Chains A and B, each alone.
Chain A
Amino acid sequence: MLLRFDSVVAGYGRGDILRGLDLDVPEQAVTCLVGPNGAGKSTALKTLSGLLKPRAGRILFEGDDIAGLSPARVLARGIVHVPQERSLFPLMTVWDNVLMGGHSMRDRGAVRRRAEALAERFPIVRERRNDRAGELSGGQQKVVEIARALMLRPKLILFDEPTMGLEPKTRHLIFETVARLHADGHTVLLVEQNARAGLAAADHGAVLDGGRVAIAGRGADLLADPRLGELYLGGSGPTANGSGGMNSPA
């Protein structure tokens, strides 16, 4: 197991949001964490990447407890977090944003070579290189965020609702990018509010409810599990999750 949350408790101010979270993330697979708005999905990722200190529990990465390390330390371990909110530096150029992804690398030449390689792989980086990142559309920004996240060749990539607010076509493109990362042997922990699309794109899944994992299993099995609908939407079934529910990339 590449990553394991072991009884993790975390929250903001008074009250816990994560109440003993147990979750396994196997290597070279896409694991999808789903759950209703406010379930604590983003909190789980923030606790992992060091933005939030856990109050109890362990986070084991490659066997070591990394709970409570600073974001820089977690990054150095090979975990990169693409947060839910827009995370580009809006006034910097697309190119400088991508270079910022290699901020912790000392060798400037290596940073530039890596960025050039990613520009080949993500054409938007090449095409909009000298434009301010804030001028790109939401979907284009997400792609640049993904490219930036790959600068350090991470062992684990955390995506927090990467398709939120995007139109179906762009959402499809993001899921395709995730699938390509998977095919290239990357390990991905994906958070999705849209259970159907997320689980369809994943090998493994877990449903978060009340700060704990309620059910976990193979993505396809979870999709077919009647409990998913009960937990997730109070019994109305996963496909009832707005029009977005119908937009699985399959």
Chain B
Amino acid sequence: MHLVVQACILGVLTGGVYALMASGLTLVFGVMRVINVAQGALVILSAYLSWALFTHFQVDPFLSVLIVAPLIFALGVGVQLVFIRSLRSEQAEELSLLITWALALGIEGVLGAVYETTYRATNTSYANSAWTIFGYQVSVVRAYAFGLCVAVLVLLYLLLARTRFGRSVRATVQNPSSALLLGVNADRVRALAFGIGVSTAAAAGAVYGVLYPFNPGSHYDLISRLLSIVVLGGLGSVAGAVAAALMMGVVEAVVAVEISPVWSSFSYFVVLVAILLLRPQGFFGARERTL
């Protein structure tokens, strides 16, 4: 029992980080029907930026979020304005898949040229510290990373639920032409939403290197997980993505201690397929979601 609870704690902490990356991915899909397959590569790019800031300038990775996220936000807005906005044809969805995949490969190529394939990790002074709470071990960096991701998710929620901009995002998701007719500036909403969606990858990426070793090819594993999370949560549903990410974290961690770490990823995909067979629309299908 102790082990299972311990595993659940770890699973929730891990899931929180994935929740943040996936929420940006699903938000972008909801607003513009674009599946940004570069989300994983942007996480890895952010991990490198944060690692470089730490290694060369001793900037704490949790503080580097304040530098990395705005940079990636600007990159996202730029990519949207230059490459994605101009896709006006009926094939915009397919073409945007190609464009974001090209972006992912481009990022991988540049990182490979600069850093080669050596695995890196951001080793802070507190990397191996742990708190003991009611007899359970809680890794300090994982707790910090979880806290950061929850904080960013809360900010994202408040932005979407409480602001005029958030209302125009929700309007665009629910009925794009109607939003246009009410004077919503669709180009602006799309560019900003894309920037916000990729900066969630940046925020999670800045602390990714504290949790896992990474190299330029790490984005393949990441994007396949992120895609499975957003599908399980219901494409376009931020709340669904959060629930699915937490479920993934817990299933993998529990299977790792109860059965074997070898089976942990596989077991999650079994659960994924089983749930999608029963509920093809994911946790929150288009009908019942709030956003």
Seen from chain A, the residues whose Cβ lies within 8 Å of a Cβ on chain B are 49, 51, 71-72, 75-76, 80-81, 83, 87-92, 96, 99-101, 103-104, 148
Contact residues in A for B175 (Cβ distance below 8 Å): 87-90
Other contacts beyond A90-B175, A100-B179, A104-B183: 18, CB < 8 A: A51-B180, A71-B181, A72-B180, A72-B183, A72-B184, A83-B178, A83-B181, A87-B175, A87-B178, A88-B178, A91-B290, A91-B291, A92-B174, A96-B167, A100-B182, A103-B167, A103-B183, A148-B182
A51 in contact with B170 (CB, 8 Å): no
Q: Closest 8 A-B residue pairs measured CB to CB?
A: A104-B183, A87-B178, A89-B174, A72-B183, A75-B183, A71-B180, A103-B182, A81-B181
Q: How many residues of B contact A (CB 8 A)?
A: 19
* Chain B, Cβ-Cβ closest to A101: B182
A89 in contact with B178 (CB, 8 Å): yes
Is B55 interfacial (CB 8 A cutoff)?
no
Is B39 interfacial (CB 8 A cutoff)?
no
CA distance A71 to B187 in the complex (A): 12
* Chain A, Cβ-Cβ closest to B288: A91
16 contacts between A and B (CB under 8 A): A51-B177, A72-B184, A83-B181, A87-B175, A89-B171, A89-B174, A89-B179, A91-B174, A91-B289, A92-B170, A92-B171, A92-B174, A100-B179, A103-B171, A103-B183, A103-B184
CA distance A89 to B182 in the complex (A): 11
Is B185 interfacial (CB 8 A cutoff)?
yes
Seen from chain B, the residues whose Cβ lies within 8 Å of a Cβ on chain A are 164, 167-168, 170-171, 174-175, 177-185, 289-291
A51 in contact with B290 (CB, 8 Å): no
Contact residues in B for A75 (Cβ distance below 8 Å): 181-183
CA distance A104 to B182 in the complex (A): 7
Neighbour of A87 across the interface among B167, B181, B289, B291, CB < 8 A: B181
B170 in contact with A91 (CB, 8 Å): yes
B168 in contact with A103 (CB, 8 Å): yes
Q: Is the interface of B mostly helix, strand, loop or mixed?
A: helix
CA distance A81 to B177 in the complex (A): 11
Contact residues in B for A80 (Cβ distance below 8 Å): 181
CA distance A71 to B181 in the complex (A): 6
Closest chain-B Cβ to A85's Cβ sits at a distance in Å of 8
CA distance A117 to B256 in the complex (A): 60
CA distance A87 to B179 in the complex (A): 9
Give the most central of B171, B182, B184, B289: most A CB within 10 Å: B182
B171 in contact with A71 (CB, 8 Å): no
Contact residues in A for B180 (Cβ distance below 8 Å): 51, 71-72
CA distance A104 to B171 in the complex (A): 13
Contact residues in A for B174 (Cβ distance below 8 Å): 89-92
Give the most central of A51, A71, A83: most B CB within 10 Å: A71
A100 in contact with B289 (CB, 8 Å): no
Closest chain-B Cβ to A86's Cβ sits at a distance in Å of 8
B177 in contact with A83 (CB, 8 Å): yes
CA distance A83 to B180 in the complex (A): 12
Closest chain-A Cβ to B14's Cβ sits at a distance in Å of 30
* Chain A, Cβ-Cβ closest to B185: A72
A49 in contact with B181 (CB, 8 Å): yes
B170 in contact with A89 (CB, 8 Å): yes
* Chain A, Cβ-Cβ closest to B291: A91
CA distance A76 to B178 in the complex (A): 15
Contact residues in B for A83 (Cβ distance below 8 Å): 177-178, 181
Give the most central of A49, A90, A91: most B CB within 10 Å: A91
Contact residues in A for B183 (Cβ distance below 8 Å): 71-72, 75-76, 103-104
